[in-house]
Amino acid sequence: MASEAKAMKVAIIGAGLGGLTLAKALGEGADTGRKVEVCLYEAWDEWKVRGGAIGLAAGKRILEKLGLKGQLAAVANQINGFQVNFHANGSKLNSLSVPGCTVMRTDLQKVLVESLPSNVIKLGHKLVEIVEGEDEVMLEFENGARDSAHLVVASDGIHSFVRQKLFGADQPEFTGFRVLYSVSSKAYRPDPTVAHIHWKESDGAGYGFLDLTAGQGAGRHDICVIILRSEEQVTDKWESTMVKDRLRTLAQHVAPDHPVLLKAVESSEVCFDWGIYRQPLRSTWISGGRAGRAGRVVLLGDAAHATAPFMGQGANMAMHDAYTLAQILRNEEISLSEGLHLYESSRKASCESIVSKSSMVGEMHTASGLKAVLRNNLLCWLLLGDMRRVVSADPTARKPWDKEESFLQRLGKQVHSICSPSKV
């Protein structure tokens, strides 16, 4: 009798949404495909969350595919979709229907954590050394623990230790934007089913205001955000809270007629002053492209493509990365080297396009003068078209190794569906 195939051991560094989704996706359908043993290492010794609300479109579809539809529905607002209205100088310009939901990051993290076997996650394991060999990667942690894996996935965020160690030192780039972000568990928005973006100008500067609701019931939180330009390089650490008086002063000066902004200031339990950074583009996400290394380390999520948040795609991209990589790794007909390059070719161009567009959207949010006029009359429509394409994409609709249909093939199917007689 042939011996049972040895499992591929995968070590995930960082238990953010990308790392948790990867661990969950690799554990699904364990009775078929390549056997994978997963271990997820998190530096913190207890669960912490940085950030507030998340809009999930691609991420929602992925969680449903992973069997978490009910758990997500229990904590999300508008599980069947919500609307975003765009306004400038008090007038409504347009709206966008999003086939997703809004959820607090804390609740989404809890859904994923509780879906995993308890032995998969190791808290209190801060990585301090990583050495890539021909057949495995050696890991050493601050607490003295050591381990090895056939593959290491770095999902350890914008300040990734793994990326700095193996891919060359770099620093996240300040985008020139900052965000003032208020969170309230006291409901003050009149309609939680609709989010609003208002564009305003004051003293020659442009500002974007976003208000939305995430979660539901006792877990409902109303969020209000001010987007502005900044020459000061504000920290990107969410622990950097700011005094409420500063937010109140800006709100009263820039948008005293905003329908909910002053209510947001008074109701908020916590306010953040958050600098917006993005990751410099890299020629590859795979370690094997440098110095003869074996290609057993790969980047995922913010470690690969941290972005400005203005298209709401940071978490969605990380979860899409994870779902794609998991599908590939579980396909026993694809070698590790081929699989990593397939993952990169499937995701890199798309992610980098969104990173670029997100900064452009930030420019639009803070436009003033003639640029604001152009935005209101033309660019807003182009922006909505791009956003519709992004949020309507279904990451579960095709396998990463399937060839994408050409434009002519898609057109032919549409023509055929129109011309074919309807079925009774």
pLDDT digits (tens, 9 = 90+) for 378-395: 777 777 777 888 888 899
Average pLDDT, the chain: 88
Cα separation, 149 vs 386, whole angstroms: 40
Q: Residue 61 is which amino acid?
A: R
Amino acid 322 reads: A
CA-based radius of gyration for the chain: 22
Which residue(s) pair with 138 in the sheet?
131, 148
Confidence of residue 10 (pLDDT cuts 50, 70, 90): very high
Nearest to 155 by CA among 336, 325, 331: 325
Backbone angles phi, psi at 132, to 5 degrees: -95, 125
Q: What is the pLDDT of residue 115?
A: 96
C-alpha dihedral sign at 142, 300, 195, 199? positive
pLDDT over threshold 50, residue 314 = yes
Q: Hey, which residues does 197 pair with through a beta bridge?
A: 86, 210
Better-scored residue on pLDDT, 417 or 311: 311
Give the pLDDT of residue 14. Answer: 96
28: left (phi over 0), alpha (psi -120 to 50) or beta: beta
Q: Alpha-carbon distance 225 to 209, whole Å? A: 6
Block residue for tokens 């070698």: 335
- Asked if pLDDT for residue 137 goes beyond 70, the answer is yes
Task: For residue 364, give both structure tokens.
Answer: 């639009």
Stretch 274-281: mean pLDDT? 88
Mean pLDDT of 341-363: 93
Q: Which of 129, 232, 236, 231 is nearest to 172 (CA)?
A: 236
- What confidence score (pLDDT) does residue 4 get? 53
Across 43-57, 84-98, 186-200, 382-396, which has the greatest mean pLDDT? Answer: 186-200
Residue 245 binned pLDDT confidence (cut-offs 50, 70, 90): confident
Amino acid at position 264, single letter: A
pLDDT in tens, 180-238: 999 999 999 999 999 999 999 999 999 999 999 999 999 999 999 999 999 888 888 76
